[in-house]
Each structure stands twice: as structure tokens, then as C-alpha cells.
A and B are shown apart, each in its own frame.
Chain A
């Protein structure tokens, strides 16, 4: 039981790494316009597929966790979502006043901020429950 949980955990981390390994090169290839438009669409879809597999694996891992760890993940996601929504709202409102910096706050950067906020939530929750 404990071993299968560990295997599931490792699988989830591997899928997260695969997602990262497909997202970054795909961004680089698309940014430098190295391929034609039809092929660009296929490249753009690859990280989405790996992300879907990662999320599926994350949910499976979440279901196998004990209730304390589930609470930690739940709170991390809530904090991550709330902070991301807050940032999006702020950027939208600033965009209305023509104050925006797409270099730092483009769609690509928002993905990074979303993960950063999740990480902050995870650390806060871990500290709160002492796990």
C-alpha cells in the first residue's frame, strides 16, 4: 500500500517534469518561429497533452493521499488559484488604463506566476499542519 503510494507519487513528479520538458522547448520553438503555422499548432498542443496527463496523474495521487496531505494540497490549490485570480484582475484593470507590461505579465509569465502561487500556498499549508 505504502509502496504503491510512493510509486504513484514518483509517477506524478515524472509527468510534471515531462510537462516542463515539453512546455519550455515548445515555447522556444514557437517564439523563434522556427516552423510553419500548421506545424506550430501541433507543437502548441504537445504541452497541453502532457499537462493533461500530469493533471490526471496528480488527481490519482491526490486520491491516494491521507487526509492531512489532501488538506495541504487543497489549501495550496485554493491559495494558488486565489492569488492568480487576484493578479489577473489587477492586470485586467491596469490594462484598461493602458498600464501593462507584457514582457513581465504576458500569458506565458502568468503560467509561471500560477505555479509560484501554488508553491507559496503549499509552503504555507505545510507549515500550518507541520507535515
Chain B
């Protein structure tokens, strides 16, 4: 699964720590999600989409091999 968290974060000029604080997780946890090592729950994905004012589908996409 790939994600556009870094891009969305850059648009808002937020650091990982800023975003982590907004969605209520640790910075290390967010780094793990951003680098694709951990796939977040639906709740966290929705929370993330809400703070970026976007949709989960834009934030997270399946890789071609996963489709």
C-alpha cells in the first residue's frame, strides 16, 4: 500500500510531530505509517483524511500488485 501523507503534510507545511499530535499518535508511529511499514486502522485513516481535508482514497492507494 502506498500513501500520500508526506505530500499532504508538505502542503500544510507540517512536520511529522505536528501531524502526529493532530491525529493523536506518536511521531515514531506516524513515521512507520508514512514509510509504509504499518497500515493504519480505518479510524486512524479517516482521522488523517479529516485533518488534511481530503479522502482516505487519496491518502492511501493499493499498489498494482495488490489490486
Seen from chain A, the residues whose Cβ lies within 8 Å of a Cβ on chain B are 1, 66-69, 71, 128-131
Contacts and interface: CB of A to CB of B under 8 A. Distances in A.
Contacts, number: 35
A1 B37 contact: no
B32 A129 contact: yes
Interface string B14-26: 0000000000111
B41 interface: yes
A67 B30 CA distance: 10
Given A68-B33, A131-B28, 14 more contacts: A66-B24, A67-B29, A67-B38, A67-B40, A67-B41, A68-B25, A68-B32, A69-B29, A71-B38, A128-B37, A129-B38, A130-B32, A131-B26, A131-B31
Q: What class of interface size applies to chain B in its complex with A?
A: 10 to 19
21 contacts: A1-B24, A66-B24, A66-B29, A67-B29, A67-B40, A67-B41, A67-B44, A68-B25, A68-B28, A68-B33, A68-B38, A69-B26, A129-B37, A130-B28, A130-B32, A130-B37, A131-B26, A131-B28, A131-B29, A131-B31, A131-B32
Contacts of A68: 25-26, 28-29, 32-33, 38
Contacts of A1: 24
Nearest to A68: B29
Contacts of B40: 67
